[in-house]
Structures are given as C-alpha cells and as structure tokens.
Amino acid sequence: MTPQDLIWRLLEHYSLQLQLLEETYQELDAKKQKDLVIALGECEQLTRTQINILRRMGRRYGVT
C-alpha cells in the first residue's frame, strides 16, 4: 500500500465518521442531553483536526 492509498483511505474513513457525528448530533435533544452534545462536539473537533493533518500530508504526497 502506498502512502497515497493510505492517506486516501483514512480521509474516506474520517469523512464517514464526521457524517455520522453530524447525523447523530441532529437527533439529540440539546437541553436533555447536554453532556452528550458536548462530547460529540469534542469528537467532531478531533475528527476535523485529523482530517486537516491528513490533507496536509496529502499535499506533500500528491493526493488529490
């Protein structure tokens, strides 16, 4: 597996994870499940950070 393949696969994985987080967030009651909403927000932030890191590496390795 090449670095480009690995980066692409991880970006796909994290994109799906981000989509799942966003869908789950929409189903929660922000008042009743405030702690869960906060936790999901932190997970979303972490996932976006991971995506940004991989995109940076993707530019280095020529992944589009």
Question: Using 50, 70 and 90 to split pLDDT, how confident is the model at 64?
Answer: low
Count how many residues are written for the chain: 64
Question: Using 50, 70 and 90 to split pLDDT, how confident is the model at 59?
Answer: very high
The answer to whether the CB of 40 falls within 8 A of the CB of 21 is: yes
Calculate Rg over the CA atoms of the chain.
15
Is this prediction's pTM over 0.85? yes
Structural domain of 56: 3-61
**Residue 64 burial (10 A CB sphere; 0-12, 13-18, 19+):** exposed
Count: domains in the chain: 1
pLDDT tens profile 6-44: 999 999 999 999 999 999 989 999 899 999 999 999 999
